[in-house]
């Protein structure tokens, strides 16, 4: 009996010990869980919010939570978070490696290159003026018969053009025939007499030749001694092969000395007159080769040589004519055809160059993003020189071997708050903001997170500024005219100016002349937009502070 009591007492003691241990272990576990929860809460609270960005991706940020014109909440950007691309105090931009990969950033080395450029110009096919011949008889006469009757008809050298009757021609033939007969009759006379008659015969023959009578006809006239009523006028002055560009000759018509009856041209070689833009004319030199494409023959490429750069400029098109000479043995190129000309020009010396996509043109200066390390970039202002189709010469701002961003540099600009980084270059990125009359006002300040050291945290590119004023008018271009009070943060005095609206519904129900409070944001350099606007409650007329 005593032994049983001892066993019961031992069991009770053991149960008490187990219960006490379980209570201690459970309380310890609860305490650990509470400590971990508190640590997580402290870690979460330690993540500082730098600013809030526009949910639609607009360059609009705020140091405090807010909603956009459509009622969407602004997205918080945490320190060191995915949303942030911090810019250091030295003007460098840091982006996480994951973000760089997502953006598809590509770089290329700044290197010494020969800038080959293709100058492109529109042109037209024209007749080679050196191969044009006009048929204009040097005597008066009548056309009795035409042998070449149509425009565009091919003509060969020496081919008969028309039969002509001319009293002057008949008289000249008669004089020559008599002189020839006189020379024959005076063969036994003294030397002076024979020489005088021979000179008369030679003068008559020279007269016929000067009138473009063919040598064959002259020989026949000398041989027969007969005067012909009409002669056949031959095209012995024409090119070897040509076509009739213009024909004025008609059967039975009378013509005067020097009157053009035919215009014949050789089209085996033609000109292409290309209109080169003024900005490219310094690159074009005589002797350079060019390629010509004709719409009628898309599968053919014609080669030509620049023979002349004209000394005049067309003020209407700001172009300079450039002449090319092209061989046309098959006659494919016809005058007035439209041509596309490509002239390859190159500078023999190498220059430091980067791809054209590596340069961001802000309108007033040129910026290139230099990759210093993986995920670390530095914006540089560069001076540019000549350009080719794909590369641009860099005169300053880069050195050979540096890696520049050639793809996604605009995305880096949007992601990394590049405006703040460019402030390290010593210039205001956006410049001065103009007032309603276009007068430049002091540049804006970028407000950072409240209570945050500016040396440690980046300032957002654009923030909202609260002010009060009066709604003056609704402008036809969608802007509104407002008179606002002084904005100390911007250094603006009270003034009247035209501002754009982020959403036209902001002024719904608000009358002209109403006192308003509103918020403005710099959407892009120099462009200020009202993002929030509301009418102020009416103030009793007895209030001494009535009015703006």
Q: Please indicate, yes or no, if residue 55 is contained in any of the structural domains.
A: no
26: Cβ contacts below 8 Å, ≥ 6 apart: none
Same domain, 253 and 277: no
Same domain, 342 and 368: no
Same domain, 250 and 147: yes
Same domain, 109 and 124: no
Q: Please indicate, yes or no, if residue 58 is contained in any of the structural domains.
A: no
Point out the domain boundary residue: 28, 46, 64: 46
pLDDT recorded at residue 236: 63
pLDDT recorded at residue 275: 96
pLDDT recorded at residue 435: 44
Q: Please indicate, yes or no, if residue 227 is contained in any of the structural domains.
A: yes
Same domain, 479 and 494: yes
Beta strand pairing call for 366-373 and 338-346: unpaired
Same domain, 356 and 322: no
Q: Please indicate, yes or no, if residue 540 is contained in any of the structural domains.
A: no
Q: Please indicate, yes or no, if residue 252 is contained in any of the structural domains.
A: yes
Q: Please indicate, yes or no, if residue 84 is contained in any of the structural domains.
A: no
Locate 331 and state its tokens. Answer: 């006659």
Same domain, 143 and 255: yes
Point out the domain boundary residue: 241, 259, 277: 259
- DSSP line for 284-342: --TT-EEEEEETTEEEEEEEEEEEEE-S--BTTTTEEEEEEEEE-TT----TT-EEEEE
Instruction: Please say whether the beta carbons of 182 and 204 come within 8 A.
Output: no
Q: What do you get for the CA distance between the two ends of the chain, in Å? A: 102
pLDDT recorded at residue 448: 39
Q: How far apart (Å, rounded) are the C-alpha atoms in residues 516 and 538?
A: 10
Dihedral of the CA atoms 28, 32, 37, 41 (nearest 10)? 120
347: Cβ contacts below 8 Å, ≥ 6 apart: 114, 115, 386
pLDDT recorded at residue 80: 53
Can you give 371-435 as a three-state secondary structure string?
EEECCEEEEEEEEEEEECCCEEEEEECCCCCCEEEEECHHHHHHHCCHHHHHHHHCCCCCCCEEC
- Going by C-alpha positions, the residue among 422, 324, 271, 262 that lies closest to residue 119 is 324
CATH number of the domain to which 335 belongs:
2.40.30.170
In the three-class reduction of DSSP (H, G, I as helix; E, B as strand; rest coil), residue 99 is classed as helix
Locate 399 and state its tokens. Answer: 């050195």
Q: How far apart (Å, rounded) are the C-alpha atoms in residues 155 and 166?
A: 24
Same domain, 206 and 320: no
Same domain, 298 and 384: no
Same domain, 292 and 249: no
pLDDT recorded at residue 532: 87
Same domain, 32 and 105: no
Point out the domain boundary residue: 259, 288, 310: 259
Half-sphere CA count of 67, side-chain side, radius 13 A: 6
Orientation of helix 191-210 relative to helix 215-224, angle to 10°? 140
Ramachandran sector of residue 17 (left: φ over 0; alpha: ψ -120 to 50; beta: rest): alpha
Query: How many structural domains comprise the chain?
Result: 5
Range of the domain at 374: 93-115+350-416
- Going by C-alpha positions, the residue among 497, 491, 494, 492 that lies closest to residue 471 is 497
Same domain, 164 and 233: yes
pLDDT recorded at residue 300: 92
53: Cβ contacts below 8 Å, ≥ 6 apart: 60, 61, 74, 75, 77, 83, 460
pLDDT recorded at residue 46: 55
Tens of pLDDT, residue by residue over 459-500, are 444 578 889 999 988 888 888 889 988 888 877 888 888 888
pLDDT in tens, the chain (548 residues): 444 444 444 544 444 444 444 444 445 544 554 554 455 455 445 567 777 777 655 657 788 888 877 666 777 776 654 444 444 445 677 777 777 777 788 889 999 988 888 899 999 999 999 999 888 888 899 999 999 999 999 998 888 899 988 888 888 878 877 777 777 777 777 777 778 888 887 887 788 777 777 767 776 766 666 667 778 887 765 666 789 999 999 999 999 998 999 999 999 999 999 999 998 898 899 999 999 999 999 999 999 999 999 999 999 999 999 999 999 989 899 999 999 999 988 766 888 999 998 898 877 888 898 988 887 888 888 999 888 878 899 999 999 999 999 887 666 655 555 444 454 444 433 344 444 333 334 444 443 344 444 344 444 445 788 899 999 888 888 888 899 888 888 778 888 888 888 888 888 888 888 899 988 988 777 788 888 888 888 665 544 444 44
Neighbours of 533 (CB within 10 A): 24
pLDDT recorded at residue 504: 82
pLDDT recorded at residue 337: 95
Q: Please indicate, yes or no, if residue 82 is contained in any of the structural domains.
A: no
In the three-class reduction of DSSP (H, G, I as helix; E, B as strand; rest coil), residue 517 is classed as strand
The CA–CA distances, whole Å, from 284 to 28, 125, 255, 410 equal: 88, 19, 47, 34
Dmax (CA) for the chain in angstroms is 196
In the three-class reduction of DSSP (H, G, I as helix; E, B as strand; rest coil), residue 113 is classed as strand
Q: Please indicate, yes or no, if residue 204 is contained in any of the structural domains.
A: yes
Instruction: Please say whether the beta carbons of 269 and 131 come within 8 A.
Output: yes
CATH number of the domain to which 531 belongs:
2.40.50.320
- Going by C-alpha positions, the residue among 411, 414, 401, 404 that lies closest to residue 371 is 404
Q: What are phi and psi of 327, to 5 degrees?
A: -70, 140
């Amino acid at each position: 009996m005593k032994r049983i009591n001892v066993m019961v007492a031992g069991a009770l003691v053991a149960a008490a010990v187990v219960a006490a241990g379980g209570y201690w272990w459970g309380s310890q576990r609860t305490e650990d869980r509470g400590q971990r929860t508190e640590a997580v809460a402290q870690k979460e609270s330690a993540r500082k919010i730098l600013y809030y960005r526009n949910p639609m991706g607009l360059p609009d940020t705020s140091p405090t939570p807010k909603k956009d014109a459509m009622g969407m909440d602004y997205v918080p950007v945490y320190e060191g978070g995915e949303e942030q691309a911090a810019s250091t105090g030295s003007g460098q931009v840091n982006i996480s490696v994951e973000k760089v990969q997502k953006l598809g950033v590509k770089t290329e080395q700044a290197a010494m290159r020969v800038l080959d450029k293709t100058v492109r110009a529109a042109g037209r096919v024209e007749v080679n003026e050196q191969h044009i011949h006009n048929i204009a008889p040097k005597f008066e006469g009548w056309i009795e018969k035409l042998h070449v009757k149509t425009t565009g008809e091919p003509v060969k050298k020496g081919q008969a053009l028309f039969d002509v009757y001319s009293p002057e021609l008949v008289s000249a033939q008669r004089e020559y025939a008599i002189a020839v007969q006189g020379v024959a009759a005076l063969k036994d006379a003294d030397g002076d007499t024979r020489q005088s008659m021979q000179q008369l015969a030679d003068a008559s023959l020279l007269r016929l030749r000067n009138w473009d009578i063919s040598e064959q006809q002259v020989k026949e006239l000398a041989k027969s001694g007969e005067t012909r009523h009409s002669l056949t006028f031959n095209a012995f002055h024409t090119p070897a092969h040509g076509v009739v560009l213009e024909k004025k000759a008609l059967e039975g018509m009378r013509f005067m000395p020097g009157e053009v009856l035919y215009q014949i041209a050789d089209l085996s070689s033609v000109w292409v007159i290309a209109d080169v833009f003024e900005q490219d004319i310094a690159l074009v030199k005589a002797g350079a080769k060019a390629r010509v494409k004709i719409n009628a023959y898309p599968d053919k490429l014609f080669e030509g040589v620049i023979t002349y750069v004209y000394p005049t400029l067309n003020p209407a098109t700001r172009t300079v004519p450039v002449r090319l000479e092209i061989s046309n043995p098959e006659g494919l190129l016809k005058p007035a055809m439209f041509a596309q000309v490509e002239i390859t020009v190159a500078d023999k010396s190498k220059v430091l160059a980067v791809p054209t996509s590596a340069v961001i043109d802000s309108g007033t200066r040129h910026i290139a993003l230099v990759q210093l390390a993986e995920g670390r970039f530095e914006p540089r202002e560069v001076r540019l020189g000549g350009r080719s189709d794909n590369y641009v010469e860099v005169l300053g701002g880069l050195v050979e071997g540096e890696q520049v961003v050639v793809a996604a540099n605009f995305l880096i600009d949007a992601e990394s708050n590049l405006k703040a980084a460019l402030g390290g270059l010593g210039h205001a990125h956006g410049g001065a903001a103009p007032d309603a009359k276009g007068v430049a006002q002091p540049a804006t300040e970028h407000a950072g997170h409240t209570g945050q050291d500016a040396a440690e945290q980046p300032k957002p590119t654009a923030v909202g500024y609260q002010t009060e004023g009066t709604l003056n008018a609704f402008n036809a271009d969608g802007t509104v005219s407002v008179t606002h009070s002084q904005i100390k943060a911007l250094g603006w005095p009270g003034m009247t100016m035209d501002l754009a609206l982020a959403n036209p519904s902001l002024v719904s129900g608000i009358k002209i002349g109403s006192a308003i409070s509103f918020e403005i944001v710099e959407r892009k350099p120099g462009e200020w937009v009202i993002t929030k606007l509301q009418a102020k409650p009416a103030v009793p007329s007895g209030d001494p502070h009535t009015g703006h």
